[in-house]
Structure 1
Amino acid sequence: MEKYKELTDLVASLAGDFEKFYDKGNNAAGTRVRAGMATLAKWAKDTRAEVQAKKNAGKA
């Protein structure tokens, strides 16, 4: 469940910037949201590869 905690922590860390950008129109927060989403995409790609590797290791 460590990976799930990483995911929830990452998403939670973006909450304030989402609010600042969408509700208050703060453009700097929008930049941070984009950077956070890029981090999330990298995390997702790495996690997907890890899951696939573990799945394939079980077949061998």
Structure 2
Amino acid sequence: MKELIEKINARFEAFKTDAQLLSEKGNKAAGTRARKSSRVLEKLLKEFRNTSMEN
């Protein structure tokens, strides 16, 4: 569970950085990375929800 939380935190930090680059500087590549991070975050959060229900 701790490893999963660390993955979520790391992916969220990457998302936050890329989303900020997109909004402040209009960096389109950062927007693509932010969208990808959001999809990965969605999967990780679903995994967290399932794992937490089992415990």
Shared topology, TM-score over 0.5? Answer: yes
* Counterparts of 2:53 and 2:27, CA distance in 1: 39
RMSD after superposition? 1.6
Q: TM-score, normalised by structure 2?
A: 0.78
Say which structure, 1 or 2, has more relative contact order (CA 8 Å, 6+ apart): 2
The number of aligned residues is 54
Residue in 2 that maps onto 1:57: none
TM-score by length of 1: 0.73
Asked which structure has the greater CA Rg, the reply is 1
Counting aligned pairs with the same residue, the percent is 28
**Quick one: distance in 2 between partners of 1:20 and 1:43?**
23
Query: Structure 1 segments of 4 or more deviating over 6 A?
Result: none
Aligned to 1:46: 47
- Any gaps of 5 or more consecutive residues in structure 2? none
